[in-house]
Chain A
Amino acid sequence: MEFQSCVKIINEWDIVAARQLGRNVAKELGFGTVDQARITTAISELARNIYLYAGQGRVCIEKLFENGKSGLLIVASDEGPGIPDVRKVMEDGFSTSGGLGAGLPGVKRLMDEFDLDTNVGKGTEIRATKWLR
């Protein structure tokens, strides 16, 4: 049984829609308030990255059921410029837009699994999972 729904990120308010979707799915799966906050914050970061750097893309939320565990998978994908130096963006404090530079490394710490796939000029896909304990 797999469940998936997506939100297109085109303007700033779509970030709120993506976040709301994530929060609802997390609630359905039975995540506690702290993990709900972690998941929504992670979605917020990823969606904002799409909005800021790629212009548009989509955020998908999937329910996962594996070996008796359930979890939530966030897939944030875009066809933007890609990330030239992956190691650098995963460093704390690196930002090209004058922000705090805590977004991507922060998401990695907020979630259990984190996977970044990027092609310069083609786009980026980030998959992050949180398992229900």
Chain B
Amino acid sequence: MNELIYSYIRENKDEILSAWIKNMRDKADERLIKVVSDEMFARTSAEFIDMIITRLKDNEQEFLNRLTDFAEKVVRLGWPLTFVNEGLRLFSKITFEGMVDQGIVNRDNQMDIVYDFDSFMTPMNNEVVNMYSQTWEKTVSLQKIALQELSAPLIPVLDRITVMPLVGTIDTERAKQIMENLLQGVVKHRSEVVLIDITGVPVVDTMVAHHIIQAAEAVRLVGAHCMLCGIRPEIAQTIVNLGINLNEITTKNSLQKGIEAALEITSRKIVEMEEMEE
């Protein structure tokens, strides 16, 4: 029975293709037109139809491989999933209507053909959706790893002085890492002063402040000083408005000031060298 559908598609390949492309063009909105170029769209559509035609010749496994390749390709092109799904739906609609017009579908075999169509289209739909979600999941997990890598670095800048520059939003997960890295680093580098720089933290709310206070307290417990640097003026004002008490922590407005103070605590200072004389 499937033979009917395939032979119809094979014989009317060009008509289906042009009707399909025309229909999709009408549907596409401006945002899509930017992403999907005419030429690329025509080429991909033709490829899709070729793929379906060769399904007869190839065995099932071969077809599945090609389907996976096709799905991978549309994902790589960055076409929105709704667009691709709509495309598949339109394709089956055009083909089915064409078959009705030619009288291939009649009252007797109508239901059979509908069922066949369904079992013919469903795996393709599934494969495309599956490929999209796999790609997204992969992207998300990769980004998560990338984010973790830059979440809380500890840099020993001078003997006994370490800096932890924080950039970006601090969530619970990250706050935990900050605490761990901070304490481990203090012990490992034998730091006396740790500077936490929050120049790159966009919002300091009570939760962020709470984590900073806890981290500073823990650093104090392992016998080092903790200093908070890079408090921007607007952040200072919101901290005051929120009524957060940072009295226990030494604060400096810039990392430079912080390092100077840290040197002072460790009884050192930076001096300019005298000009060397010949």
Contacts and interface: CB of A to CB of B under 8 A. Distances in A.
B205 A41 contact: yes
User: Is chain A's binding surface mostly helix, strand, loop or mixed?
Assistant: helix
Interface in A13-31: 13, 16, 19
Given A44-B205, A103-B205, 7 more contacts: A16-B169, A38-B234, A41-B203, A41-B242, A106-B242, A106-B243, A110-B242
Contacts of B233: 34
B206 interface: yes
Interface string A106-122: 10011000000000000
Contact of B234 (A19, A37, A44, A45): A37
Nearest to A13: B171
B171 A100 contact: no
B237 A102 contact: no
Interface residues on chain A, size class: 20 to 34
Contacts of A41: 203-205, 238, 241-242
B59 to A, nearest CB: 45
B234 A99 contact: no
Contacts of B205: 41, 44-45, 48, 103
Contacts of A102: 206, 209, 242-244
Contacts of B171: 12-13
Interface of A: 12-13, 16, 19, 33-34, 36-38, 40-41, 44-45, 48, 92, 99-103, 105-106, 109-110
B124 interface: no
Nearest to B213: A100
Interface residues on chain B, size class: 20 to 34
A117 B1 CA distance: 65
Contacts of A106: 206, 241-244
B206 A100 contact: yes
Nearest to B237: A34
Interface string B223-242: 00000000001110110011
Nearest to A92: B243
Interface in B192-250: 202-207, 209-210, 213, 233-235, 237-238, 241-244
Contacts of A37: 203, 234-235, 237-238
Contacts of B82: none
Contact of A99 (B169, B204, B210): B210
Contacts of A109: 241-243
A36 B241 CA distance: 13
Contacts of A40: 202-203
User: Lowest 4 A-B CB distances belong to which pairs?
Assistant: A106-B242, A37-B234, A44-B205, A34-B234
Contacts of A38: 234, 237-238, 241
